[in-house]
Amino acid sequence: MIGRLNHVAIAVPNLESAVALYRDMLGAEVSDSQSLPEHGVRLVFVDLPNTRIELMEPLGEKSPIAAFLEKNGRGGIHHICYEVKDIAISSAELVAKGARVLGDGKPRKGAHGNPVLFLHPADFLGTLVELEEVG
């Protein structure tokens, strides 16, 4: 079912400082920022040869990143995203095996315009897992 590691996401209190760290300190290529109010995040992607890092700052009061930062003040790894060929089939298979899909269970459009969904951290070793359909 899961394929390539699409990205590792890091929650940050301040996106500009995180960009400076990755661009100036680590010499990485960093995308322009995107604001995605429907996900409660403002983010950039750090493009690496084999995957991406998604740096996310909270956007709005209901942001899941704000809740995460309340517990983990300095930020930290927030989720990992694996690619799947067909998110509807993967979701149905996972639910049939007892995994919990977060929210209303329906895939939503992610930062790359592909359908994404999230699986409950308690079912995956304490790690928030995102699936992204990449055909």
Chain residues in the site for ligand LP2KCY5N (CB under 6 A): 9, 36, 39, 41, 43, 54, 64, 67-68, 78-79, 81, 102, 110-111, 116, 118, 121, 126-128, 130
**Rule CB under 5 A: is residue 44 a binding residue for Co ion?**
no
- Indicate the residue among 49 and 103 with the shorter CB distance to ligand LP2KCY5N: 103
What H or E segment, with its residue span, contains residue 4? none
- DSSP 8-state code for residue 101: B
**83 annotated active-site:** no
Distance between CA 68 and CA 5 in Å, rounded? 22
Query: How many alpha carbons fall within 13 Å on the CB side of residue 29?
Result: 6
Closest CB to Co ion belongs to which residue?
Answer: 9
134 token code pair: 């990449």
- Indicate the residue among 27 and 71 with the shorter CB distance to ligand LP2KCY5N: 71
Minimum distance between the CB of residue 26 and ligand LP2KCY5N, rounded to whole angstroms? 20
- Indicate the residue among 27 and 61 with the shorter CB distance to ligand LP2KCY5N: 61
Distance between CA 99 and CA 89 in Å, rounded? 14
Site of tokens 């890092």: 53
| Positions marked active-site | 130
